[in-house]
Copies of this chain bind each other. A is one copy, B any other.
Amino acid sequence: MTRAKNFNAGPAALPFAALERAQQELLDLGGTGMSVMEHSHRGKAYEAIHDEAIALVRELLSVPEGYEVLLLQGGASQQFALVPMNLLPPGKSADYVLTGAWSQKAYKEAKVLGTARVAATTEQDKKFQRIPSQAELQLDPSAAYVHITSNNTIFGTQYSSFPDTGAVPLVADMSSDIMWRPIDVSKFALIYAGAQKNLGPSGLAVVIVSQQLVEQGRSDIPAIFQYRTHAANKSLYNTPPTFGIYMLRNVLACYKEMGGLAAIEQRNRAKAKLVYDVIDARAELYRCPVEPESRSLMNVVFNLPTPELEAAFLAAAKKEGMEGLKGHRSVGGIRASLYNACEPAWCQALAEFMRAFPG
């Protein structure tokens, strides 16, 4: 087989070794005569995988004591609702920093459930083409939390450093850039991420949350939606998405093998540089709408002078085995998603293609 050069925005490329391992074991996990999908979530074979997945999240991100790692059903869209359900009691307000469509969705769900306000938005002046500065944030010092989206897949922006929210808990949707580099988890009260960009297949969310926040969470909501429930049961209160967690384990084992997040950061910076360098070198053909200091290293978005040239670009790229380069349907243009599992060789091929286009 020829492996596609996969630039999908998510679900996205996974480490090939993680997939190969899954294929080898698919019918028979460790000589048990059963697929991992057929194992009980209460059995030893699965539980070892579950525990290893949680341990690898802790290890790779250096999750400090006092934090829970939860493996939950659903993706980030569900967390948009679960965060305010758990953390936004009546009489309190939550601050949302709007940097794109996903933070808008998170804000909208919060408003259904309680009081939420916009602490900053970059929609009006720049159509979400930048991340707001610390000085622009109008933070409510009594807010229940401040919510940010660390990377914006549609608009191609990313926080290069995180806001200081003082004593107010910082909640971050890191769906599209979790584990792209090491971070200081202790600066966050809660981090959540849908798995399908940097962690595994869709249908799984990883939540890293301070025990203090778990304890403070509302208890007058359904048990299944309380972080408390899952923290108390090691994410085995109900049947977890066992295959998704198995794949998470396989993916994280690859990250460890690659040298951990410091090595992955170097790799990711080099990959993104390959593409941005061509954009900057050929400014007559490629235009990245994002302000330079807000550029995402995960999702490189750019335009060509006309929609016709963009269509020709996509068609020619496809002939070279490059997939998933079409921009989000809401904004058009080109988008190359360079998540952890996107191979440096694919980025090299894309850069060469861009340098030569239209040939």
Copies per assembly? 2
* Interface residue? A22 (CB, 8 A): yes
- Is the pair B80, A324 in contact by a Cβ cutoff of 8 Å? no
* Interface residue? A75 (CB, 8 A): yes
Report A4-21 CB contacts with B as 1/0, cut-off 8 Å.
Answer: 101011111110100110
Residue of B with least CB distance to A197 = B239
- Is the pair B37, A11 in contact by a Cβ cutoff of 8 Å? yes
- In the complex, which of the residues B19, B37, B76, B324 contacts A35, with contact meaning CB atoms closer than 8 Å? B19
The minimal Cβ–Cβ distance linking A174 to chain B, given in whole angstroms, is 16
- In the complex, which of the residues B77, B244, B247, B323 contacts A238, with contact meaning CB atoms closer than 8 Å? B77
* Contact A321-B26, Cβ < 8 Å, known A39-B11, A222-B81: no
Q: Which residues of B contact A78 (CB under 8 A)?
A: 73-74, 224, 238
Q: Which residues of B contact A77 (CB under 8 A)?
A: 224, 237-239
- In the complex, which of the residues B2, B14, B35, B244 contacts A14, with contact meaning CB atoms closer than 8 Å? B35
- Total contacting residues, chain A, CB less than 8 A: 71
Compute how far the CA of A186 lies from the CA of B4 in the bound complex, rounded to whole angstroms: 45
Residue of B with least CB distance to A20 = B27
Residue of B with least CB distance to A229 = B77
Q: Which residues of B contact A74 (CB under 8 A)?
A: 73-74, 78, 224
- In the complex, which of the residues B80, B203, B220 contacts A204, with contact meaning CB atoms closer than 8 Å? B203
Compute how far the CA of A19 lies from the CA of B14 in the bound complex, rounded to whole angstroms: 20
| A107-147 interface (Cβ within 8 A of B) | 108-109, 112-113
* Interface residue? A223 (CB, 8 A): yes
The minimal Cβ–Cβ distance linking A250 to chain B, given in whole angstroms, is 11
Q: Which residues of B contact A306 (CB under 8 A)?
A: none
Compute how far the CA of A147 lies from the CA of B199 in the bound complex, rounded to whole angstroms: 37
* Interface residue? A291 (CB, 8 A): no
* Contact A201-B241, Cβ < 8 Å, known A23-B23, A26-B26: yes
Compute how far the CA of A162 lies from the CA of B6 in the bound complex, rounded to whole angstroms: 49
Compute how far the CA of A27 lies from the CA of B13 in the bound complex, rounded to whole angstroms: 11
The minimal Cβ–Cβ distance linking A231 to chain B, given in whole angstroms, is 16
Q: Which residues of B contact A225 (CB under 8 A)?
A: 81
* Contact A112-B41, Cβ < 8 Å, known A23-B27, A33-B2: no
| A197-255 interface (Cβ within 8 A of B) | 200-204, 220-225, 237-244, 247
* Interface core residue of A2, A39, A108, A200 (most chain B CB under 10 Å): A39
Q: Which residues of B contact A80 (CB under 8 A)?
A: 222, 224
* Interface residue? A34 (CB, 8 A): yes
Known: A76-B238, A203-B242. 19 other contacts (CB 8 A): A3-B34, A6-B38, A10-B40, A11-B39, A13-B38, A19-B38, A23-B27, A74-B74, A74-B78, A74-B224, A75-B239, A80-B224, A81-B222, A85-B222, A108-B223, A109-B223, A201-B243, A202-B240, A244-B244
What 10 pairs across the A-B complex have the smallest Cβ distances? A203-B241, A4-B33, A81-B222, A77-B238, A73-B74, A37-B201, A23-B26, A1-B28, A202-B239, A109-B222
> A residues engaging B (CB < 8 A)?
1-4, 6, 8-14, 16, 19-20, 22-23, 26-28, 31-35, 37-43, 73-78, 80-81, 85, 108-109, 112-113, 194, 196, 200-204, 220-225, 237-244, 247, 321, 323-324, 329
